[in-house]
Structure 1
Amino acid sequence: MDWKVFISVFGAVFIAELGDKTQLATMLFAADKDVSKWTVFAGASAALIVASAIGVLAGSFLSEYINERYLNYAAGVGFIAIGLWTLLRS
């Protein structure tokens, strides 16, 4: 296992997920006193695993047809566009 890549991916995903809608929704489910916290944890974890698997599969598929450099550019432009859209709407 390439620990440098692992730590980079873990850090990026962990920071990106903090305080987002997914974490807030999970918190709301866990706040219900009648619901098992382990069930909420398992469901949220499974959802993140499946979403990550889709990302890995999509990235692997796209990298077969599109140069990695262009994928990085597209991701960068996408993040900038989302940031600008968020700023303009607030």
Structure 2
Amino acid sequence: MDWKLLATTFGTLFVAELGDKTQLACMLMTAKTQKPWTVFLGSSLALVLVSLLGVLFAQFICQYVPASIIKKVAAALFVVMGVLIFFDKI
């Protein structure tokens, strides 16, 4: 196992997820239901499944598209999303 990659992935996702709408949704669900462990389990399973889908999709796409092009497309999509959010289009 590549421990450096594991730590980098964990750190990146941990910081990216702090204070995002998913975390806020978990807080609100826990406050509403008063069942923190059930919300924790459901949200943990959802994050694991979404991560698995992302990894499998990336593995498939990387067989056909060079990483440099994927990086550029992802950057362009982030810019487009940022502009749309800035102008209240989403």
Q: Are 1:78 and 2:77 an aligned pair? A: yes
Q: How many residues get paired?
A: 89
Residue 65 in structure 1 maps to residue 64 in structure 2: yes
- 2:86 partner letter: L
Distance, in Å, in 2 between the alignment partners of 1:8 and 1:83 is: 25
Any runs of at least 4 consecutive aligned residues in structure 1 with deviations exceeding 2 A, and if so which? none
Once the two structures are aligned, what percentage of the paired residues are identical?
A: 42
Instruction: Say if 1:47 and 1:74 are closer, same or farther in 2 by CA, change over 3 A.
Output: same
1:48-79 Cα deviation digits (max 9, x unpaired): 00000000010000001101111111111111
Between stretches 59-68 and 11-20, larger displacement belongs to: 11-20
Q: TM-score, normalised by structure 2?
A: 0.86
Q: After TM superposition, give the deviation of residue 86 of structure 1 in Å.
A: 1.7
Tell me the residue number matched to 1:13. 13
Shift of 1:38: 0.9
Can you give the 5+ residue segments of structure 2 that lack an aligned partner in the other structure?
none
What is the aligned partner in structure 2 of residue 55 from structure 1?
54
Q: CA RMSD in A?
A: 1.7
